[in-house]
Amino acid sequence: MRLALNHSLAPHLSIPEFLDFAAAAGVDAVELRNGMPPGWHLPPAADVTTYAPARIARLAADAGISVLTINALLDFNRWNAERAEQARALIATAAAAGIDAIVLCPTVAAPGEAVPHSNLPSALDALIPLLTDAGIRGLVEPLGFPQASVRRAHDVDVCLRERGSPLCLGVVHDTFHHALAGAAGYSPFIGLIHVSGVTRSDVPVAALGDEDRVLVTEVDTLASCAQIAAIGAGGGFAGNAPAVSLEPFARSVAESPTLAADVRASLAVLASLTTGTEPA
């Protein structure tokens, strides 16, 4: 199992600092970001789009780190001229920086607004030639929030099969969103796994938000590790296995005075899924 870190867990670190942090934690892969969810702040020094792509490539190489994704093209399925321009810019940045993929996040309605139609087929049709020409993958991340326009991987799977399962597209399996959506089964197109833990049990699952997403520990009310184990048991870690990327958002994670030790402990929990050993 290849383990990675998403910059969401330490958005206060600049990209050079984050790459060094990841290397010190013992991983060889990260996800960089161009923004954070509403209510969170990503400083310019942590925003991949504020750096020249060549510098990103050089920084990653110097740290011995692969950059798996830029996270993310938001509202990708609300396709219009603005979204097309944003997509071209992110794809070009990824290609020039040696980044494998961009994450595609669907539209989430604001409180009180109607959930928009998914428009998934037309958005994917527009993205396929852009991704193919650049040699970059687009990884669709279903979001389990009740207001999200694409909540379950099944809907993405149907679209991908209808298009001949193009290699330029895949699915992000997010353990948090999978649980929120009450989804069953696992996509055969998983190209990346996002994992975070939840320790709260005082609210319904549907009421959980990004602020409840912490590092994975042995205590997890959403059974994230069980999801990952099930994906692996189904052959998800055979051959070209998807990386498992830690993606907590809770401010308590980034603000922890023992962040480095916390991350190493969480990585040990995940590593134990494949080694069969207890985390130290």
pLDDT in tens, 42-88: 999 999 999 999 999 999 999 999 999 999 999 999 999 999 999 99
Lowest mean pLDDT among 29-33, 68-72, 180-184, 262-266: 180-184
How is residue 164 written in tokens? 């001949």
pLDDT given for residue 276 in this prediction: 53
**Whether the predicted pLDDT of 168 surpasses 60:** yes
Residues 6+ apart with CB under 8 A from 59: 15, 16, 19, 51
Query: Does the structure show a pLDDT above 70 at 172?
Result: yes
Cα-based torsion angle of the residue sequence 33, 175, 277, 9 in order, rounded to the nearest 10 degrees: 30
- The hierarchical CATH code for the domain 3-192 is 3.20.20.150
Which class for 40: exposed (0-12), middle (13-18), buried (19 or more C-beta within 10 A)? middle
Report domain extents, the chain: 3-192
Q: With left for phi above 0 and alpha for psi between -120 and 50, is residue 26 left, alpha or beta? A: left
The residues that bridge with 47 in the sheet, in sequence order, are 33
E strand intervals along the chain = 3-6, 29-33, 66-73, 101-104, 137-140, 169-174, 190-195, 243-246
Q: Give the model confidence (pLDDT) of 125-142 as tens digits.
A: 999 999 999 999 999 999
